[in-house]
Amino acid sequence: MATQTEWEGAVAGKAVLITGASKGIGAAAARLFADKGAKLGLAGRPSRELEAVAEETGAELLVCDVSEAGAVDAAVKAMVARHGGLDVLINNAGTIDPIVRIEEADPAAWARQIDVNLNGVFYGMRAALPVMRAAGGGTILTVGSGAAYNPLEGWSGYCASKAGAMMLTRAAHLEAGDVVRVLSLSPGTVATGMQAAIRASGVNPVSQLDWSMHVPPEWPARALLWMCSADADDWRGAEVSLREASIRQRLGLPG
């Protein structure tokens, strides 16, 4: 097992592309990875929040809607053009909307959730894998969820899309795991705007959790950094759960 000092240098000088970095886990990861010396690109739809994170971290802002394959392809190509390759892709972009029972769901809104949470992961993998194969290696991380394994009222689209994203991790590992490191992170409940929306919905037990139960977004950001190192290789093709005390201890986080 590597020391924290060793794995904290995992992204120094590496070209890293993060989707959905305007807030929450993505923004925390951008700050941490920039601090650790990554050559950073932030892919997302235009917003003042995303611009602020890019300015703060010195990252390149790449206008990109992850639900559009061409936009994701363009973001990866921009990283290659600027940095000569892509070492790490973090599929972080996601949406909890709509929170609604199946029979009441608007088909377009439900499909949009699948487009972002599932198709966006597929588009990222599809664009990054050939680049990483040609370079002889790379890392693809996806921010997953415990919702991939447990159905929750009002979350049919979220649960289905996260389950699909987990299967994509396994499929990509099967097809490319001899060259590319592919892992997923289940961060638990995190104190972000998404949790605020969940709380406001009042739907299912997750909305009833006390705010103190949620971990800060800096915790999953730290987990993602560790997952970029060989120290996390036992989880290739699988999911790291930040709920596990052993993982938190490994990352130097409170148990």
d(CA 118, CA 32): 25
d(CA 155, CA 232): 30
d(CA 104, CA 118): 21
Q: Which amino acid, residue 179?
A: V
Task: Give 174's contacts (C-beta < 8 A, 6+ positions apart).
Answer: 237
- The answer to whether 158 is a known catalytic residue is yes
Residue at token pair 């997923």: 184
Catalytic residue among 123, 155, 158, 226: 158
Residue 7, classed as helix, strand or coil, is helix
Residue 175, classed as helix, strand or coil, is helix
- Cα 177 off chain centre by: 18
Task: Give 164's contacts (C-beta < 8 A, 6+ positions apart).
Answer: 114, 117, 118, 121
Residue at token pair 């001899």: 178
HSE, side-chain direction, 13 A CA sphere, residue 11 = 33
Q: Which residues are catalytic?
A: 158
